[in-house]
Amino acid sequence: MSASASASRITPARAHRLLRDGRAVLIDVREEGEFAAGHAPGAVHLPLSAWIDGSAGLPAGREPVLICRSGNRSRQAAELLAARGVSVPDVVGGMREWAALGLPVVNARGVAGTVR
């Protein structure tokens, strides 16, 4: 991660490649019910509300990539981090675009999920 005033936006396909290659961890900033209904396999759930109140911390190790349903909340989280001097990319189009591209979505039970 680099210190920067802004963060980049990446496509779902790029995020998927980074995850598949073990270079990134996907951080889903949606609320619990949304995440439980359908998320990318291996995603870490840290809702935007935790970013706003300052209780969320980035997982150590792989590069973080932020995602939400449409790209709005993940962009907000990226901007909050940028204000703290940390540049983290977010996924443009969010889980809606991820699912539209046919990328995997699982629910809390680990079977096919839906994006809501």
Tens digit of each residue's pLDDT (9 = 90 or more) over 66-107: 999 999 999 999 998 888 888 899 999 999 999 999 999 999
Position 53 confidence tier, pLDDT thresholds 50, 70, 90:
low
Cα–Cα separations (whole angstroms), residue 6 to 13, 51, 62: 21, 16, 20
| Predicted local distance difference test score (pLDDT) of residue 116 | 85
What Rg, from alpha-carbon coordinates, does the chain have? Answer: 13
Told to judge if 91 belongs to the known catalytic residues of this protein, a careful annotator would answer: no
Q: Where along the chain do its domains lie?
A: 9-100
Residue 21: phi and psi, rounded to 5, are: -80, 0
User: Which of the residues 7, 10, 66, 68 is marked catalytic?
Assistant: 68
pLDDT reported for residue 75: 94
Residue 39 has pLDDT above 70, yes or no: yes
What pLDDT is recorded for position 1?
A: 40
Q: pTM of the predicted model, to two decimals? A: 0.87
Confidence (pLDDT) at 73: 93
- CATH number for the region 9-100 comes to 3.40.250.10
